[in-house]
Copies of this chain bind each other. A is one copy, B any other.
Amino acid sequence: MAFPELKNDRLIKALLRQPTDTTPVWIMRQAGRYLPEYRETRKAAGGFLDLCKNRELACEVTLQPLRRFNLDAAILFSDILTIPDAMGLGLYFSEGEGPKFERPLRSKADIDHLAVPDPTEKLRYVSDAISLVRKELDGAVPLIGFSGSPWTLSTYMVEGGSSKDYRHVKGMMYENPASMHRLLDILAQSVAAYLNAQIEAGAQALMIFDTWGGILTPETYRSFSLDYMQQILSLLHRQYDGQTIPVTLFTKAGSQWIEMIADTGCDAVGLDWTIDIDEARRRVGDKVALQGNLDPCTLYASPEVIRNAVKDIITKYGPGAGHVFNLGHGIHPAVNPDHLAVLIDAVHEFGHAIRQQPGSSG
């Protein structure tokens, strides 16, 4: 597919650790419930899944935050559980309780029945939405595609939804590691095929959300989560149509393991707010770009506090290349959108200012 040339390429450059005029910024869940226009579109769509699966509406909500804010990227509006849904587990959403599966995986037999879904069939709606967003964006900013990590997908698939104690998935991991590895291997192949289809449809950068990697031990994190993200990295078409497609790995609550994550060969590591970004930079050296890492709760405070918090992170990172500003997790539904505008403008202002310092190379 031929798309217009990219006008604002700050995000791509920063993810590849190339100099930019200021720090690029996008926000996890920037298309979401904190925006009144999103809530209206969602109401019109019916359920959450109807919104994800309707190409036009998914495109509309993807673009909504870009009409309000000076963001440096769009991220496709979708759900992280599209793959298990396509595998036939029966995804549904019950109000206030989050995602659920009608047919959770609890046995070896459940897992043996699974197959890698063809992304051009049951996940076609995702590729279609991506191509439509690319067309509508008209090259203004890059479009990020994404997936949940194999481990994170497996937690929902085995528990049957969100969990507080992860007893079923961890019980299976400890008691039947071979079954868990089989499940994770199928998921890694599925995620790779899904993300490659997103690249073909027009995604210009990719992110893998490992929301629940942080509940593991160091050893099980490596063998049940990180190794499968690395397998995905090896299967992705990271050069496509003359462009490099940067890939960001984000393990929530994984700041103690960023060296391991940086060693996978990903382009960037997402950080939550439990680590100082200057310490993160020291620990990973110049292997990867870093994305993050403001506490989302900062947005409940006043504009002055928000500006100071943004300045603090940009100052800690310093003038060097390779920083993408973001929250350390998704924006909360109760946040005032005007506060996000303050954040985004502050990132560009302070990101520009720090590059004017003598000796700056970023």
CB neighbours of A276 from chain B (8 A): 217-219
Contacts known (A170-B295, A174-B305, A175-B305); A275 close to B256, Cβ less than 8 A: yes
CB neighbours of A109 from chain B (8 A): none
Interface check A255, CB cutoff 8 A: yes
In contact, A297 and B218 (Cβ under 8 angstroms): no
A302 CA to B173 CA in the complex, in Å? 12
A273 CA to B279 CA in the complex, in Å? 22
A216 CA to B220 CA in the complex, in Å? 25
A220 CA to B276 CA in the complex, in Å? 11
Choose from B165, B255, B302, B332 the contact partner of A332 (Cβ within 8 Å). Answer: B165
Q: Which residue of B lies closest to A175 (CB)?
A: B301
Contacts known (A253-B253, A255-B256); A300 close to B217, Cβ less than 8 A: no
Residues 281-327 of A at the B interface (beta carbon under 8 Å) = 295-298, 300-302, 305, 309
Q: How many residues of chain A have a CB within 8 Å of chain B?
A: 32
Per assembly, the copies of the chain total 2
Choose from B274, B332, B334 the contact partner of A217 (Cβ within 8 Å). Answer: B274
Interface check A103, CB cutoff 8 A: no
Interface check A171, CB cutoff 8 A: yes
- A336 → B minimal CB distance (Å): 11
Which of A166, A214, A217, A276 is packed against the most chain B CB atoms within 10 Å? A217
Interface check A108, CB cutoff 8 A: no
A170 CA to B334 CA in the complex, in Å? 13
**Interface residues of chain A: helix, strand, loop or mixed (majority):** helix
Mark interface residues in A252-283 (1 if CB within 8 Å of B CB, else 0): 01011000000000000000011110010000
Interface check A167, CB cutoff 8 A: yes
Residues 158-177 of A at the B interface (beta carbon under 8 Å) = 165-167, 170-171, 174-175
In contact, A216 and B332 (Cβ under 8 angstroms): no
In contact, B297 and A171 (Cβ under 8 angstroms): yes
Q: Which residue of B lies closest to A279 (CB)?
A: B218
Mark interface residues in A226-264 (1 if CB within 8 Å of B CB, else 0): 000000000000000000000000000101100000000
Mark interface residues in A327-356 (1 if CB within 8 Å of B CB, else 0): 000001010000000000000000000000
**Additional pairs, 19, CB under 8 Å, beyond known A165-B332, A217-B274:** A165-B297, A165-B334, A166-B297, A167-B297, A167-B300, A167-B334, A171-B300, A171-B301, A174-B297, A174-B301, A174-B309, A175-B302, A175-B305, A217-B273, A217-B295, A218-B279, A219-B276, A253-B253, A256-B256
Binding site for B on A (CB under 8 A): 165-167, 170-171, 174-175, 214, 216-220, 253, 255-256, 273-276, 279, 295-298, 300-302, 305, 309, 332, 334
Closest 8 CB pairs of A and B: A170-B297, A171-B300, A174-B301, A175-B301, A217-B273, A256-B256, A218-B276, A174-B305
